[in-house]
Amino acid sequence: MIFNEELRGQATLVLAACRDKGLQLATVESCTGGLIIGLLTDIAGASDVIERGFITYSNEAKRQMLNVSETLLECFGAVSEEVAHAMAEGAINNSYAQIAVSTTGIAGPGGGNKIKPVGLVHIAVAREHYQTLHERYIFTGDRQGIRDQAVVASIALLIRMLEK
């Protein structure tokens, strides 16, 4: 993903809002594989806001690093609202961050089915003392396009949470 100026501007807003509110930020990425943290850390001065980034591509990583329960993974699957919530909340509970964004989805080209098609992405933003926000998307395009759209949507959801 090449970060365009509009997206870099939105990411800069996220960092500034976190800075203004005294919040440390964590990212938890499955289908985006580090693209969100890459965007944020591409901006000078991000180190005073970014606490850490988790890449939890496997279910085992979700369990070990974030304490996502086996029951959630078995009942709802890794690509679900419930797991997206658990990932974001787990990042806060397993770091010094007070706000976290998570992505889990099917970027393709394979791996989808009728119930969970390629392009399905769940994004959650957890923040201490606030209700976790969640958005479900079905993006179109190739693997990179789906991942890029998930990054844009993640930054937008972070901004929405930070406006509270």
CATH number of the structural domain spanning residue 97: 3.90.950.20
Structure tokens at 114: 């009728």
β-pair partners for 55: 29
| Predicted local confidence at residue 1, as pLDDT | 58
Q: How far is CA 5 from CA 9, 40, 78, 161, in A?
A: 6, 13, 32, 22
Number of domains in the chain: 1
Domain that holds residue 62: 5-162
**Which residues of the chain register pLDDT less than 70?**
1-2
Stated pTM of the model: 0.97
Percent of the chain at pLDDT above 90? 98
Q: Nearest CA to 158 among 5, 39, 67, 1?
A: 39
| Predicted local confidence at residue 6, as pLDDT | 94
Any residues with CB less than 8 A from the CB of 144 and at least 6 apart, and which? 1
